[in-house]
Amino acid sequence: MPSPHALPRLEVSAHLTDSRGRACPQPIIDLALALKAHPLVELWADDPAAYGDLVAFAEATGHSLERVTKSPLQAVLRRKP
């Protein structure tokens, strides 16, 4: 797995979930587990399907997608209140 320092952080106060090298739906599963414990999560993923899954997950759960970049995917989500 690549070093977690290989990418610049989008949100340094967020819990980092590094799912690079994991096929979907695992990055979204990792994200869901992290959101149970942390109010703000930054997800890293490199599976091409992760972006679409992320958007669908945010819409379905009501969590707020704060920031997102693609290729590789870096996203910050805020847990719904």
What would the pLDDT profile of 8-62 be if each residue is shown by its tens digit? 888 778 999 999 999 999 999 999 999 999 999 999 999 999 999 999 999 999 9
Average pLDDT over residues 63-78: 95
Q: For strands 40-45 and 15-18, give the pairing.
A: parallel
CA–CA separation, 52 and 60 (whole Å): 12
* pLDDT number for residue 4: 52
Q: Name residue 58's amino acid.
A: A
Give me the domains of the chain, ranges plus CATH numbers. 15-78 (3.30.110.40)
* pLDDT number for residue 9: 86
Contacts of 46 (CB under 8 A, 6+ apart): 20, 21, 72, 73
* pLDDT number for residue 71: 85
